[in-house]
Amino acid sequence: MKSLNMTWLVLLAVADVLAVLFFVAPELIKGASFTEIGIARVLTTTVMPVVVLLIVNVLPHNVKSSLVYWKPLGVLPGTEAFTKYGPADPRIDMAALKKNVGTLPTDPTEQNSKWYKLYKQVANEPEVAEAHKLFLMYRDMAVMSLALVVLVPLALLVVGAASPAPWLAAGLFVLQYLMTALGARWSGIRFVCNVLAVHSARKVTTPKATATKQPAT
């Protein structure tokens, strides 16, 4: 999951570099030779995964989630799983869900804890795994985009790009951040609801651990 998401993150970063060079600050590559462009391409391909890793992994998960949901740390969709998102999803029969999983808490912290336990039981269900993957991908894209709002305009100022370029770049990455943050929000809610939908459709049983025989000595 992480390696696949990293591929998409790197592709987005490369697309961002191309957008800046060809549309925001084309004067930076005007007059460049094919050799110089080839060297820049190799450097971009080699360095980009490292840069992306540094940007998306410098923050803890709860901080990244707060940048997506614009709420205090720890306030995630799971904190309203049984009081807001579950009842609003037509796929989820709340009565059947309660019958299958027991008492449905209303306290935000208890809701998130209960939901997480339910998630761990169905983490490998295709619809759950796919929603989780999309949430992580969009969340990290949003974090990367927010960092680029600051980093790219500063880089353009350092290399002496024309005056509109830093502002255009900042606007581009603000728009990208908003789009990816919204994508992460909806994917996160879908992730929460998919877990509940599986549990409302059937009672999930956790297989009991079998004792491992010790070898004879």
- Extract the tokens encoding 100: 């299958």
Return the percentage of the chain with pLDDT > 70, whole number. Answer: 88
Compute the radius of gyration of the chain from its Cα atoms: 23
pLDDT at residue number 160:
83
Look at 82-96, 98-112, 151-165 and tell me which has the smallest mean pLDDT: 151-165
pTM: 0.85
- Extract the tokens encoding 82: 């049984």
Look up residue 214 and give its amino acid: Q
The mean per-residue pLDDT over the stretch 4-26 comes to: 87
The mean per-residue pLDDT over the stretch 174-191 comes to: 97
Q: Are 200 and 94 in contact (CB under 8 A)?
A: yes
pLDDT class of 2 with cuts at 50, 70, 90:
low
Return the percentage of the chain with pLDDT > 90, whole number. Answer: 61
Q: What is the mean pLDDT of the chain?
A: 88
The mean per-residue pLDDT over the stretch 20-29 comes to: 81
pLDDT at residue number 215:
42
Q: Are 105 and 99 in contact (CB under 8 A)?
A: no
- Extract the tokens encoding 21: 């060079």
